[in-house]
Amino acid sequence: MLVAGTFTSCITIEWLMAELIKNQRVLHKLQREIENTVDGDIKNASSHHMPFLQACLKETLRLHPPTLFGVPRRALETCTVKNYVIPKDSVILINNWALARDPMTWDEPLKFKPKRFLESKLELTGNLQFQFLPFGAGRRICPGLNSATTHIGRIVSLLVHSFDWVLPEGIKQNDLNMTEKLVLTVYMKEPLSLIPRSRSSQ
């Protein structure tokens, strides 16, 4: 469980940094929020007090859930869901990737728009809102939710606050390959490569 939690957190950080590089306005807005929050002391700042950072994290988990499917469920009895008969004892898999990109639920579902979560009450805990379940929901929700969000938020805030990040020479934002590859988790087909430049020296 520890290995799985660490690996999925690393993947989420990579996706979030890639989306920030492609969306410079979002990156600059996030930098301003962090600067206004930390008051010069980034090491002791709490990412949970940064609403735009949390919105960026949620939007990343919506577009790029670390796993396509949630924990399998079993139908305890035969039931009907939207004219589909689910036989008793069927194994049920929830497709988080498809739910989070459903155009019936999400406005411009393929765009990275963190502000949608500033205007929404959707939470990472699911709360039976089945359009967004990156950590599952109910009794079998991921036990590492709080640890993961704290860990990811802290690292991203440090990276964004301490450095400006640029792509290697010759690569433009639109050239960044956002193709997904599925093994056990969904990660970037081409690993993200960025060059850090200290912001304190500018």
Q: 53 with 157: CB under 8 angstroms?
A: yes
Q: Is 142 labelled a binding residue?
A: yes
Query: SS in 3 state form for the chain?
Result: CHHHHHHHHHHHHHHHHHHHHHCHHHHHHHHHHHHHHHCCCHHHCCHHHCHHHHHHHHHHHHHCCCCCECCCEECCCCEEECCEEECCCCEECCEHHHHCCCCCCCCCCCCCCCHHHHCCCCCCCCCCCCCCCCCCCHHHCCCCHHHHHHHHHHHHHHHHHHEEEECCCCCCHHHCCCCEEECCCEEECCCCCCEEEECCCC
* Domain 2-69+95-198, CATH number (from 3.40.50.1240, 1.10.630.10, 2.30.40.10, 3.40.190.10): 1.10.630.10
Q: How far are the Cα atoms of 15, 34, 99, 141, 162 from residue 43, in angstroms, in the given order?
A: 23, 11, 36, 29, 11
- Look up tokens 């499917």; give the residue: 69
CA atoms within 13 A on the CB side of 121: 3
Which pLDDT tens digit goes with each residue over 26-70?
999 999 999 888 876 676 677 778 999 999 999 999 999 888 887
Q: What is the pLDDT, as a whole number, of residue 166?
A: 92
| pTM for the structure as a whole | 0.88
pLDDT < 70: residue spans in the chain = 1-5, 40-41, 43-44, 126-129, 200-202
